[in-house]
Structure 1
């Protein structure tokens, strides 16, 4: 297979030409697909994701090793970065949902500019995609021991009783449990020690400036 064959196939992926993609696979076989990259280390998935070709993605995903979903180009960007930069939500969902694959871990990968796919969505002003990324990341936090989500566990902690140790002037300690009412002023004494679980606060992402959309991009990132 010549370099020209590589280039032609990448162009077919860029423009979503299903007939040419099928013809290439029929001639050379799927085993060669993971090795195809351009001079900037972009894979066929980068080209498809950047331009939103869901049919081409559905065709290639079963033929590619899962590791290729997290493949980074010369700028450190994955196919999900490019889908995010160009606001292709169906592509982003397909990449994250593909099994076997990295799943939600794809959202954590940062390029050389220090931006994750979520960061690219914010930079491009793509609110729908940014909201979806955050939702998926929160769901990926996992379940508690009783099957409750992390957020549900935190909410349960907020309603938990307050356990107090009260020390009088003679040094005697008494234990007290308060269920719902707020602490009365007298319990603000330095002699009172309150123990209550704290709920976890998730970090938020910073916003970035908007980048123009390109119909058939060849991004540097």
Structure 2
């Protein structure tokens, strides 16, 4: 007779800390600096970014102090430790990463920067820390949305008030508002 049907191979065990997929992060080829593929992300980078995501200051600080992982290393979806700690409201981790000179402008695959995630999730103090660290309030993600747009869409009014002081509502995509002023000066002189 016919051979018995073969059972599918068992699924690999799932890490309980694994990052679930998100709706706002489509994979785009060539639009952003390429984030590493899942199999290309070293385990120490994954652990560092997950530690930041979950607010584990002790582990994050130990990795920073040991120089074990570049502070701006990108994990799945292009996420950095700063982006994940900002999005999840871990102010102490954000401060440690900023002190270690984490770049506030490294985008994930959807073009979201740490300020987008802090604004989207209503983390006013983190937005203030990022702005003090010279994060651009005018950066736009792949959907053409600024951090202000993200906060406004979620009705985070206090965050909107903070961001409005730093946002150039007339800036063209990707602009910081300063170029317009410089252009006006050059034309006048």
Q: Tell me the TM-score range normalised by the shorter chain.
A: 0.5 to 0.7
List, as ranges, runs of 4+ consecutive aligned residues in structure 1 with deviation greater than 6 Å: none
Aligned counterparts, 1:81-120, within 5 A: 81-98=116-133, 101-102=134-135, 106-120=136-150
Residue 27 of structure 1 and its aligned partner are, at CA, apart by: 2.9
What is the correspondence of 1:186-201 to structure 2 with a 5 Å cutoff?
Answer: none
| Contact kept? 2:148, 2:167, Cα under 8 Å | no
From the two aligned structures, give the one with the greater strand fraction: 1
Q: Give the length in aligned residue pairs.
A: 131
Q: Does 1:62 align with 2:92?
A: no
Contact preservation (8 Å) 2:120, 2:151: yes
Q: By how many angstroms is 1:137 displaced?
A: 3.6
Q: Indicate whether 1:50 and 2:87 are aligned.
A: yes
- 1:203-214 aligned within 5 A: none
Equivalent-residue separation in structure 2 for 1:123 and 1:7 (angstroms): 30
Distance 1:108 1:136, change over 3 A: closer
Distance 1:22 1:137 in 2: 32
Q: Secondary structure at the match of 2:112?
A: coil
Which whole-Å CA distance do the structure 2 matches of 1:130 and 1:118 have between them?
6
Are residues 1:124 and 2:130 paired? no
What is the RMSD computed on CA atoms of the aligned residues?
2.2
Is 1:25–2:64 an aligned residue pair?
yes
Residue of structure 2 in register with 1:219 after alignment: none
Deviation digits for residues 136-193 of structure 1 (CA, Å, limit 9, x no counterpart) = 347x989xxxxxxxxxxxxxxxxxxxxxxxxxxxxxxxxxxxxxxxxxxxxxxxxxxx
DSSP-derived class of the 1:70 partner: coil
SS of alignment partner, residue 136 of structure 1: coil
SS of 1:8's equivalent in the other structure is helix
Is residue 112 of structure 2 the alignment partner of residue 77 of structure 1?
Answer: yes
2:55 to 3, 6, 16: 16
Task: Flag structure 2 segments of 5+ consecutive residues without an equivalent.
Answer: 1-40, 169-175, 179-189
Q: How far apart, CA to CA, are the structure 2 residues paired with 1:133 and 1:75?
A: 21
Question: TM-score normalised to the size of structure 2?
Answer: 0.63
